[in-house]
Structure 1
Amino acid sequence: MANNITRIPNESKLAADSDDVVFLMVPFPAQSHLNQLLRLSHLIRSRGFPVHYAASAIHCRQVKLRHDTLLLNTSGIIFHELLTPPFNSPPPNPYSSVKYPQHIWPSFEASLNLREPVAALLRELSSSSSSVAKTTTRTRTRTRRLVIIHDYLMNYVVQDAASVPNAESYSFSSGSTFCTFCITRQLSGKPFPVVELEPEAIPNLDNCFIPEVVKFLSIQNQYEHLKHGTLFSTCRAVEGPYLDLLAQTTHADASVDKKTKQWAIAPLFPVTANNDDDKAHPTLEWLDKQPPKSVIYVSFGSLTTMSQEQINELALGLEESKQRFIWVLRDADRGNIFNAESTILPLPEGFEERVKGVGKVTRDWAPQLGILRHPSVGGFMSHCGWNSCLESLTMGVPLATWPMHSDQPHNALLMTHILKVGVQVMGWGERDQLITSSVIQKSIENLMASSEGHAVRTRAEELGKIIKQSVDDDHWELNSFLTYATRSIN
């Protein structure tokens, strides 16, 4: 492994000895990225450290609106609303020949303008005193170290941390390590043959991203050498081999410090419901009335757009499968979710009446974590965003994979071909085709009512138990990172 990890039995002592260490989070402005760093902020704050969260005013507002119930009482996180120039926020185009959500690109591009306000915040936090609660008194201490945890896609924005003497920056990789490793090997000119596939079915930079994003990634890579280490939103039980392979690949690059460390710190979300973590919601109330493991949850994340024809095929496939389902049917997010009219996506005439009692369609923001850990849920039809994959695996729920763009095709391969905890709805080679109702019906029946589906579910449940154990073991890899980040340097 890339770094030696020791378990820390006393979290409170760790925080008590490190009140002069301040953490700054710099997320990338996409929902899953924003949410993952807020979850990490909560975990670090719960250990007694001051935590600051810096994003544009729009995205600070967005992440607070959509946060997990667990974070409702997280009063100690300090939000910094950074000024950015206005950016376009066009509606999605469901008929675009390109699956990547191009409508969101202006908001991503605008994130490059955050360098100067982040640099100013770095200077302020690195030199100011912090006020930290300590038992019944408050102690003011000068910042000994400023620890910046930033999304990998914000490498350019936080580059000035390298010139701050008491600062260390750590990148946060919000995608799968498997995808990161495959793309790293592709960029090096040595693609890694992870599975035997036809050439057109192999995901790569050119067919997963638009050229603007590839250029954006190359900009971020130029500042990769400035970080002190990497935090991965994954668990070694899931991706241990690829963490080790990625460490070997990275350390073979002479431009990267061989002392760069890595930690796999997920899952960052609560793996069991505590008290009122899952608020009353119509989807959860409906699930309470269903038999165990009988419902397939259908959701394609916050950025997916489908044509009306594809929506109709999906509806028909769900209906003809005769399986219980919950379908989250929402229009894709705009770059600015507060400056857009809500679009109601139509369903085939009479569909909701015909499936009444068997299926439920919700058009609201749904409590995904609560749905996935509900005992009535037995499968998840997903776009395979990494956050969704990890939540599903942790809850022991197998997947029906339908990737759209970005890291999702790699994640889908990891689920179906490597971990074997999912069945395929659409292979990447069929990405430009209409997925018919019969294909959708067959994949649902395969997952929910076949011997293959039973074997896939068994593997998912076993892996979920292993992932939960890593949290029960006191989040020891996250604690290892905190011990390192707060260490004294002579």
Structure 2
Amino acid sequence: MGALDLDEGPLTLHFIPYPSPGHMIPLCDIARLFSSRGHHVTIITTPSNAQTLHKFVSHRLRLHTVNFPSRQLGLPEGVENLAAVNSVEDSDRVHEAAMLLRGPIECFLERNPADCIVADFFFPWVHDVATKLRIPRLVFNGFSLFAVCAMHSMYANNPMHLDAYSNVVRDLPHRITLNATPPKVLVDLTKPLLETELKSHGIIVNNFAELDGEDYIQHYEKTTGHKAWHIGPVSHICRTAEEKTERGQESVVSAHKCLSWLNSKRANSVLYICFGSINQFSDKQLYEMACAVEASGCDFVWVVPEKKGKENESEEEKEKWLPRGFEKRNVMKGMIIRGWAPQVLILGHVALGAFLTHCGWNSTVEAVSAGVPMITWPVHDEQFYNEKLISEVRGIGVEVGAEEWDVIGFVEKKKVVGRESIEKAVRRLMDGGDEAQQIRRRARELGKKARAAVEEGGSSHKNLTSLIDELKRLRECRK
């Protein structure tokens, strides 16, 4: 069937995001991409999460809410997202509650036919539902394709017991040695999800082909027989300062305050520190971080996770994680943000010189898009793979040397990364030396490619067009 035979009417797509900011925000940006091309999109979510997404509603994008069984799992009413909890037990309850959404979501899908279902890979049951309803399914997992390739390689080359796992990732286009060994519980969780993912029509990747690299795209398709569609960086759907500030949860600091402070700083002089929405460090680790930042002499924006229940902590409590007098001494040099920050807006400012990051994929691709080099400090999930893409494969960052790989960011760390290691990594990027200049140049070049990818004629723009055409062909075949 040729392209001229395709029905040019808009597609109808249903999106099912997982209730965690790192999953929900990019998938909803992808939904907005499809609606911006004139297609009818429904995001299926829960009441509390809908409150952060209502601003995206338009005549082509709507929200459908299903009740979240918070009370059934012993969670407070309205707690419907991993960002709203701060313990392993409660995060498990949120996940279990999310799995109970199958019934009401399946009822909605049965009553509202679609041309495609786009679901997070944490919902493997969508495969059975889509198969029963004969609806094509695309999967979003929020990882880079590089990380997906590395995970497939690790799982294929190691037997399923922890002692046999090594730090070496084999059979990739590059020889990769990780700084830690993946936890067995993480392997047990992700391996079946990746296997179910391969039964879908393809995966959507929040990245652009030039960052993952054609060698990894070809490697993935050759070794799995599966299709990957690079259509990112999807954060570029946010064009204005207001859109960048409103992306995700409500920011605790205004765009005007952030921009005014950054405007007072020299180009490349500010260190941005943020470890995502669900990572927590001990007071001792935060103290080491503060000492290192102060010793480096850099201007900084430091996003500290809100300490739930300790919003009005005493000076005595604060001094457990912040050296005495730190804020007073650094009143001109630093901005501490307690809670959610407008990250895309901050990273895009010319004053930014480096980003100290946990290597979560959204943060990584946002930094690359802005041309900002990174200081890598992975914590959990696939972040140790992302670190190697940043530091070794693309050469746009330096490593702190973190070696403790957890399954989730709430886990208390056994090791503390010392202030000397942190300060050394910061100085490597912020001192303006030859190494820093070369890393910064590579980061800027990739930033230009990221912006070009999403413009008309760019690789991601073409991939989205190709994916839309593919879904229309599938629609014709089902008639």
Same-fold status (TM-score > 0.5): yes
Gaps of 5+ in 1: 1-7, 66-70, 94-100, 127-144, 252-259, 333-339
Does 2:53 align with 1:64?
yes
For the residues of structure 2 that align with 1:25 and 1:469, how far apart are their CA atoms?
26
Structure 1 residue 446 and structure 2 residue 412: aligned?
no
- Does residue 92 of the first structure (1) align with residue 86 of the second (2)? yes
Q: Specify the code of the residue in structure 2 equivalent to 1:473.
A: E
1:282 is displaced (CA, Å) by: 2.0
Q: In terms of mean alpha carbon deviation, does 28-37 or 152-161 score higher?
A: 152-161
Identical columns (%): 26
1:266 Cα deviation from its structure 2 partner: 0.8
Whether 2:159 is the aligned partner of 1:186: answer no
- Give aligned pairs, total: 426
**Within 2, Cα distance between the matches of 1:271 and 1:122?**
27
Residue 314 in structure 1 maps to residue 283 in structure 2: no
State the Cα RMSD in Å. Answer: 2.9
1:135-284 equivalent positions in 2, closer than 5 A: 145-165=114-134, 167-189=135-157, 191-192=169-170, 201-206=179-184, 211=185, 214-221=187-194, 223-240=196-213, 241-251=215-225, 260-270=226-236, 273-274=239-240, 276-278=242-244, 280-284=255-259
Partner of 2:403: 428
Partner of 1:467: 450
2:8 partner amino acid: D
- The answer on 1:456 being equivalent to 2:429 is no
Shift of 1:225: 4.9
CA distance in structure 2 between the partners assigned to 1:446 and 1:476 by the alignment:
38
Inter-CA distance 249–204: structure 2 relative to 1 (3 Å threshold) = farther
What is the distance in 2 between the residues matched to 1:288 and 1:425? Answer: 28
Question: Equivalents in 2 of 1:436, 1:326: separation in Å?
Answer: 20
Q: 2:80 maps to which residue?
A: none
Separation (CA, whole Å) in 2 of partners of 1:448 and 1:460: 14
Q: Which amino acid aligns with 1:105?
A: D
How far apart are 1:357 and its partner, in Å?
A: 0.9
C-alpha change, 1:344 and 1:177, in structure 2 (3 Å) is farther
- Code of the aligned partner of 2:25: N
Q: How big is the shift at 1:351?
A: 0.6
Provide the secondary structure at the position in 2 that maps to 1:84.
Answer: coil
Cα deviations across residues 457-481 of structure 1 (Å, max 9, x unaligned)? 1100011111111112341111111
User: Of 465, 469, 474, which aligns to 1:483?
Assistant: 469
Structure-1 separation of matches of 2:211 and 2:235: 16
Question: For 1:381 and 1:412, how far apart are their aligned partners in 2?
Answer: 12
Q: Secondary structure at the match of 1:293?
A: coil
TM-score (norm 2): 0.81
C-alpha separation in 2, matches of 1:440 and 1:189: 34
Supply the AA of the counterpart residue of 1:156: W
Greater helix fraction, Structure 1 or Structure 2: 2
SS at match of 1:486: helix
Q: Who is 2:81 aligned against?
A: none
Tell me if 1:110 matches 2:97.
yes
Q: What does residue 262 of structure 2 align with?
A: 287
Indicate the SS of the match to 2:45: strand
Provide the rounded CA distance (Å) in 2 between the counterparts of 1:196 and 1:427.
20
- Checking the alignment, whether the CA contact within 8 Å between 2:33 and 2:237 is kept in structure 1 is no
1:378 aligns with 2:360: no
1:322 & 1:14 partners in 2: Cα distance? Answer: 64
- Inter-CA distance 463–271: structure 2 relative to 1 (3 Å threshold): farther
SS in 1 for 2:339: coil
Residue by residue over 1:79-113, the C-alpha shift from the partner in whole angstroms, topping out at 9 and shown as x without a partner, is 121223223459536xxxxxxx5642221232221
- In structure 2, distance between residues paired with 1:311 and 1:484: 49
Q: Is the 8 A contact 1:118 1:158 kept in 2?
A: no
Q: Structure 2 stretches of 5 or more lacking a match?
A: 76-83, 159-168, 246-254, 406-412
